[in-house]
Chains A and B, each alone.
Chain A
Amino acid sequence: GAGVSQSPRYKVAKRGQDVALRCDPISGHVSLFWYQQALGQGPEFLTYFQNEAQLDKSGLPSDRFFAERPEGSVSTLKIQRTQQEDSAVYLCASSPRWAGAIYRANYGYTFGSGTRLTVV
């Protein structure tokens, strides 16, 4: 597609419910990132994929958070037993190049519009 697509756009979950958030990156983009953005805050890194390999998951706040990208394209962020503090916008970004590559002037990231998760 033309951009990074995230679904659903909005999700309301009852505390304790499991949720799955989907990210469709731009076709062919190698790198994929998930970020969590709390209200009034900047995005915070959660995890990073290079193709299907999850190379960095140091930002995942707890073992209730799990991300996968089994075929190196679509990624799913799953949150088990949601809690109120999980309420945030979850942003996905993708990039055509390896994140470890030498930085180039045209090396850009495209962000999705995010999924706003509200846990009640």
Chain B
Amino acid sequence: KNEVEQSPQNLTAQEGEFITINCSYSVGISALHWLQQHPGGGIVSLFMLSSGKKKHGRLIATINIQEKHSSLHITASHPRDSAVYICAVRQNTGNQFYFGTGTSLTVIP
């Protein structure tokens, strides 16, 4: 039952590196979310995509609907970007979200 697959599972980067996290999904979707979860457990919604590309500060999210694939990019990474990044899709036939298992990112100064 893995409707959403993320890679890599764990990622360690040096400060300043360009980071890419990938998400593939197998169901038809109405939207894809990228979420950020900090060690305390709180989740913040970073992006919501249904097509194309969105940019917010150093974060860029892209989606290819035909290929059922999305990427989250972080430019000029910083230690405060260290968190778990979760890809979630909302299936177009219901109200459910399906979540990836997350990518644990550690940015080293």
The answer to whether A binds B is yes
Within 8 Å CB of A105, what residues of B? 48
Binary CB contact string for chain B from 75 to 103 against chain A (1 if under 8 A, 0 otherwise)? 00000000000101000001111111110
Nearest to A98 among chain B residues (CB) is B95
Q: In the complex, A40 Cα to B52 Cα: how many Å?
A: 30
Q: In the complex, A56 Cα to B97 Cα: how many Å?
A: 12
Nearest to A102 among chain B residues (CB) is B30
Q: In the complex, A109 Cα to B100 Cα: how many Å?
A: 17
Q: Closest 8 CB pairs between A and B?
A: A42-B99, A111-B43, A113-B42, A114-B41, A99-B95, A45-B96, A42-B101, A43-B99
B31 close to A (CB within 8 Å): yes
Q: Is the interface of B mostly helix, strand, loop or mixed?
A: strand
- Decide: B31 and A103 in contact? CB cutoff 8 A: yes
Shortest CB-to-CB span from A60 to chain B, Å, is 12
A44 close to B (CB within 8 Å): yes
From 28 to 82 in chain A, residues with beta carbon under 8 angstroms from any chain B beta carbon are 33, 35, 40-45, 48, 55-56, 58-59
A23 close to B (CB within 8 Å): no
How many residues does chain B have at the interface if contact means C-beta atoms less than 8 Å apart? 24
Q: Chain B: residues with CB nearer than 8 A to chain A? A: 4, 30-31, 33, 35, 40-45, 48, 50, 86, 88, 94-102
Q: Is the interface of A mostly helix, strand, loop or mixed?
A: loop
Number of A-B residue pairs having CB atoms within 8 Å of each other in the complex: 56
Within 8 Å CB of B4, what residues of A? 42
A97 close to B (CB within 8 Å): no
How many residues does chain A have at the interface if contact means C-beta atoms less than 8 Å apart? 29
Within 8 Å CB of B97, what residues of A? 33, 35, 43, 45
Q: In the complex, A82 Cα to B50 Cα: how many Å?
A: 39
Q: In the complex, A110 Cα to B36 Cα: how many Å?
A: 12
Shortest CB-to-CB span from A49 to chain B, Å, is 10
Nearest to A95 among chain B residues (CB) is B45
Shortest CB-to-CB span from B11 to chain A, Å, is 15
- Decide: B101 and A111 in contact? CB cutoff 8 A: no
